[in-house]
Amino acid sequence: MLAELKACGVADVLILCCDGLKGLPEPVGEVWPRTTVQTCVVHLMRNTFKYMARQHWGQVAKALKHVYQAPSPEAAAEAFAEFEAEWGGRYPTVIRL
């Protein structure tokens, strides 16, 4: 399918946002080598919730919203540092995600 898109005139893809499909980055890299493949925020949040108690879902989602909606990379890094300070001890796997 990717080769068909390229044949139809899609010369390059800067970012491919997907659901975390494990086999996707390799074929994308073969067709468009400079493409960045990343998991969409919705799927990343769903995966994050698997590693924590349900009682914290709302608090964690609210805290991570500041990271995802930050106006700059610097602000996102600062918000993530705050998130890590608050939740990293309890949920280190979430921090690695």
Which residues have CB under 8 Å from 94's CB, separation 6+? 48, 51, 52, 60, 87
pLDDT at 38 over 90: no
pLDDT at 32 over 80: yes
pLDDT band of 69, cuts 50, 70, 90: very high
Residue 6 token pair: 């390229």
Is the alpha carbon torsion for 21, 35, 73, 17 positive or negative? negative
- 49 vs 32: CA distance, rounded Å: 32
**pLDDT for position 22:** 82
